[in-house]
Amino acid sequence: MGTWGVDSLENDGACDYASEVASSTDFVRLLATFDRLLKQGTDYVQAADAEEAIAAADIIARLRGRFGKRDAYTESIDKWVEQMQRRKHSPSEALVDQAPRTVARIPSEPSELLELWTDSEELPVWKEAVEALLKRLQ
């Protein structure tokens, strides 16, 4: 796991995902990410899918003006968000509604990302970061 922190965009998978979204002109990738994870229901969630879903939810929060941590890792997605806001492009309410449901599924078993964080000393801090993201999505 190429992870250096607990925040949404502090791992390789999430940064790669955000870069892909930042090169798009719409919200199709975000919608596909939420749909893929939500369709899994109570099935096992792979870590890569969970990282992308958390990143997608973070992007939705940013699009709604609720930015989290801003640094060099978020620079490209922050610029994209600002462009979308300037153009008055905003996600549909259906897409916005999917974000917290998707995030809430990730720290519940069966989830590979939960397993990986459980094996570290940072589990409580990661759970706090997930809760903070959920609050930004409200």
Domain positions in the chain: 12-137
What percentage of the chain carries pLDDT values higher than 70?
99
The rounded percent of the chain whose pLDDT value lies above 90 is 98
* pLDDT for 1 beyond 80: no
Q: What is the mean pLDDT of the chain?
A: 96
Q: If pLDDT is split at 50, 70 and 90, which confidence band does 37 have?
A: very high
The residue-averaged pLDDT of 104-113 equals 96
17 contacts 54 by C-beta, under 8 angstroms: no
Residue 35 and residue 57: Cα distance in Å, rounded?
12
Q: Give me the mean pLDDT over the 83-111 stretch.
A: 96
pLDDT at site 2: 86
Whether the CB-CB separation of 136 and 68 falls below 8 Å is answered with yes
pLDDT for the residue numbered 19: 96
Please count the other Cβ atoms lying within 10 Å of the Cβ belonging to residue 66.
14
104, two tokens: 């809430």
More confident residue, 44 or 3: 44
Give the mean model confidence (pLDDT) for residues 66-81. Answer: 95
CA atoms of 133 and 35, how far apart (whole Å): 19
Span 35-53, average pLDDT: 96
Q: Reply yes or no on whether the pLDDT at 76 is more than 70.
A: yes
As a whole number of Å, the end-to-end CA separation of the chain is 29
